[in-house]
Amino acid sequence: MEHTHTGVAHEQHGHDASTKGIWKTFWILLAITIFEVGLAFLHLETGIPPKLLLNSVFIGLTLLKAFFIVAEFMHLRNEIRNLIMTILVPLLLFIWFIIAFLADGDSWKKMRKDLSPGTPAPAVHVVNEEAHH
């Protein structure tokens, strides 16, 4: 199979564009990561920003990094909308699933802490069926 001059030039241009996209994604991910590390050190030294805000920023930046990784390395940047939604919707449901289980676990942990050893369990009111008849 012979390659014409224009065919080789087109392949070379495609390769250069792909490499350029990968480097662009690398630099964006590096900048976001450096910003995250800087925020973490700022918080450790000064307590600013508050932990809840810091964690929210980290979650947002992590999602942003995930977007760039998926767009570049899974080649979804140029895909059709339905395919992207097919991947994005289950991902969002999975994230909701994790948050729900973490909240449930935290609630259970707080209930267990409230019932420290030596504290009697709350009384359960048992309804006597015979007394109502």
Average pLDDT (80-109) is 87
Contact status, residue 87 vs residue 76, Cβ threshold 8 Å? yes
Closest by CA position to 42, among listed 54, 30, 60 = 54
- Both tokens of 116, joined, read 């420290």
Q: pLDDT > 90: what percent of the chain?
A: 41
With cut-offs at 50, 70 and 90, classify the pLDDT of residue 87. Answer: confident
What is the structure's pLDDT at 6? 55
Q: Whole-prediction pTM value?
A: 0.57
- State which of 13-17, 36-40, 64-68, 122-126 shows the largest mean pLDDT: 36-40
3-state secondary structure the chain: CCCCHHHHHHHHHHHHHHHHHHHHHHHHHHHHHHHHHHHHHHHHHHCCCCHHHHHHHHHHHHHHHHHHHHHHHCCCCCCCHHHHHHHHHHHHHHHHHHHHHHHHHHHHHHHHHHCCCCCCCCCCCCCCHHHHC
Comparing 41-50, 100-109, 118-127, the range with the smallest average pLDDT is: 118-127
Chain-wide mean pLDDT for the chain?
Answer: 82
Q: What is the pLDDT of residues 7-27, one digit of tens each?
A: 555 566 667 888 998 999 999
